[in-house]
């Protein structure tokens, strides 16, 4: 999967989950950068990303992701 296309789709997911169309993500974006990104919203985000890309993250991937760049790496490797 093309990383640029994946990032555009992922940005749309972030905007939808956090109900904020001004969100801009980058590889270094983490929960500390988005005010409403808490543990509950993290679950909602993971579910929305899985639905958007037609994939399922492994538990160790979810717990190991430190930022959006790591999420994009997984999506590009396995996503549709």
Global pTM reads: 0.92
Q: Could you tell me the residue range of the domain that residue 62 belongs to? A: 3-78
How many Å apart are CA 7 and CA 25, to the nearest integer? 8
pLDDT at residue 16 in the model: 98
Our count of domains for the chain comes to 1
CATH number at residue 60: 1.10.1200.10
Q: Residue 50's pLDDT is what?
A: 96
Residue 11, number of CB atoms within 10 A of its CB: 17
pLDDT category at 59 given cuts 50, 70, 90 is very high
Give me 56's structure tokens. 């399922």
Q: Dihedral sign for Cα 48, 64, 11, 34, please.
A: positive
């Amino acid at each position: 999967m093309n990383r640029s296309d994946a990032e555009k789709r992922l940005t749309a997911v972030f905007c939808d989950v956090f109900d904020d169309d001004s969100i801009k993500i980058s590889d270094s974006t983490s929960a500390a950068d988005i005010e409403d990104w808490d543990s509950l919203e993290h679950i909602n985000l993971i579910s929305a990303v899985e639905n958007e890309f037609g994939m399922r993250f492994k538990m160790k991937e979810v717990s190991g992701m430190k930022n959006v760049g790591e999420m994009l790496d997984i999506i590009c490797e396995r996503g549709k």
